[in-house]
Amino acid sequence: MAQVQKLEPPYWWSGMKDSELQLLVYGNAINELQPEFPANIIVKKVEQVSNPNYLFITIDTKNLEPGTVTLKFKKGKRTVSKINYEFKERRPASAERKGFDASDVIYLLMPDRFANGDTNNDSTAETIEQADRNLQGGRHGGDIQGIIDHLDYIDELGATTLWSTPMTLDNEKTYSYHGYACSDLYQIDPRYGSNADFAKLSKALHDRNMKHIMDYVPNHWGLSNWIIQDLPAQDWIHYWEGGEYGFKRSNYIQTSQMDPYASNYDAKGCMDGWFDYTMPDMNENNPMVINYLVQNAIWWIESADLDGMRVDTYPYNDKAGITEWVTRVLQEYPQLNIVGEIFMHDTAHIAFWQKNSAIGAIQGFNSNLPSVMDFPLHDIIPQVFNEDQQNWGDGLFKVYNHLTKDFLYPNINNLLIMMANHDVNRINQEFGGDVDKYKLAITLLATLRGIPQIYYGDEIGMMGEKSKGDGDIRRDFPGGWPGDPQNAFNADNRTESQKAYFDYTKKLLNWRRDQPAIHRGKTLHFAPQNNVYVYFRYLTENPNEKVMVVLNNSREIQSVSLDRFAEGLKGHTSGTEVISERKVDLTQPLQIAPKTAMVIELD
């Protein structure tokens, strides 16, 4: 007998700007039933698809008061299924929620590898893969409670915003810990906790005046996704003839999205190819798919009280579809911030994707995506601080030259900048465990334009090499598990090396919290000499808000004459160096030690 087995979204809110809501109703032969809704709900459209187990019902929620209504599904005169459906009251000023910005520092972690706060959910009856810390690519048991238990640590470090890799259910047989092959877009993986726990995490962050970013994956779902297992119609995914499950791997040629000479063959191969065998590529040119994704994103923002989203594999999405998605989400939340992962290596290619890009406009395209990731900066950081000699174009000159391309971005302060993340070598691996190189790099990151993002464990010197497997760059945080031999969350238990990393990072990031010249200021920089780079961050409206940064990337003590920096100093004759807290006389040449940074607040 036809019965409603699933109804999504599972609940909604009254008072949304877009009053139309598309309900997905699922059950065996459900299209045999006729919906009967209360008189105060206007049914605008009932759509059947090729799979008889689905109905899509579009309703108008305009002027609907909060409360529970009964939705009936009938066969003839007989009611076969009844569903109580709730329309919740929204939080005050929910639509005006403000997203993360350049005043923030983002702490990126992988929940399975950060901390295990509840050992009872390490393995569950409803999920396939069981926890085994001996498997580099397996589940290790980290969870939401583990994150909540250590929010004070992240706050103490000076980070203001948490970004976790996806925590929705990933029920693949192996490698499910990364979360990027979602099995149910409306359910937190029970090995991490519950939907209520996810909302609890947001509240715990907000209680500390911190923010919460959700990692969102519209481009692809997992093979185990319940909708993939029983597709509403074949055109919900990009299906390739001749491939098992319709699989054909993406060609990964992201440049085909903006290449003026690109063939349709190459562009389709990027956008419509599957990211991996277990990750069917969603067809975002299908209006039902886009509606589903838009509503799902709004549902998480509203239910979990989020402050932003990071969108995975952005250029692999259907260009028109993902633009509609981001536009509609931001119409509901105009001040929210959304950052797209554009893992490309040329500034022009990245800038193409930022909202109001002049580069995109040449092709008549505007992504409406507020924030993008500065991967070209990431690419050079490991090179820069491993090059002791500047020569012509080496060392810190690479940073100087990189910043000369900032004119390509419509909003330079809304770039996410990073040294490393969960997909690349750990930065301390690149530096061979040299804390002085790390200090230079984190100083650069904390004082440049944009939104700094650090990767969990970098602040205590954790190592990891991608060539040894992704699990090596995603090691467990020491002390996150009961019985760990060492607990780096606790200052008293850190090694001397870990203290050197942590203490420097903590001092720098906590200083950054209250520096408007860093958050929204302009940049004035001078071409590096002898591998010494000097730049200023300043507010045009308040000349007294000015910071001078000096990076000595050479292996020698440098005596830096300040005469050529008069344009930046503008009469300032002294300042306070942030890390050492000592006064600096700016009428005399600066003496700066090898591989050392100075951050000077001008008096």
DSSP H or E run through 544: strand 542-552
Q: Which of the 8 DSSP states describes residue 476?
A: P
> Could you tell me which residues come within 8 angstroms of residue 413 by beta carbon, excluding any fewer than 6 positions away?
101, 102, 449, 450, 451, 519, 520
Indicate the burial class of 536 (C-beta count within 10 angstroms; 0-12, 13-18, 19 or more).
buried
Question: Which residues face 454 on adjacent strands?
Answer: 107
List C-alpha distances in Å: 386 to 245, 489, 508.
Answer: 46, 29, 22
Question: Catalytic pick from 312, 318, 374, 601?
Answer: 312
Give the residue from 482, 513, 589 showing the smallest Cα distance to 142. Answer: 482
| 8 Å CB contact between 230 and 50 | no
Is position 312 annotated as part of the catalytic site?
yes
Give the residue from 379, 454, 391, 377 showing the smallest Cα distance to 422. Answer: 454
Give ∠ CA 8-298-2 in degrees, rounded to 5. 5
Q: What is the CA radius of gyration of the chain?
A: 26
Residue 18 and residue 584: Cα distance in Å, rounded?
56
Indicate the burial class of 198 (C-beta count within 10 angstroms; 0-12, 13-18, 19 or more).
buried
Indicate the burial class of 457 (C-beta count within 10 angstroms; 0-12, 13-18, 19 or more).
buried
Token pair of 259, please?
């290449």
Question: Catalytic pick from 341, 430, 459, 476?
Answer: 341
Residue 155 and residue 434: Cα distance in Å, rounded?
25
Residue 451 and residue 205: Cα distance in Å, rounded?
18
Give the residue from 20, 15, 14, 5 showing the smallest Cα distance to 294. Answer: 20
> Could you tell me which residues come within 8 angstroms of residue 374 by beta carbon, excluding any fewer than 6 positions away?
350, 415, 416, 417, 418, 450
Please report which residue ranges of 407-540 form alpha helices under DSSP H: 427-430, 435-447, 496-512, 516-520
List C-alpha distances in Å: 107 to 66, 447, 478.
Answer: 36, 16, 17
Helices 195-207, 287-304: axis angle to 10 degrees equals: 50
Token pair of 341, please?
């992962």
Give the residue from 358, 405, 355 showing the smallest Cα distance to 377. Answer: 405
DSSP H or E run through 311: strand 308-311
Residues annotated as part of the active site: 312, 341
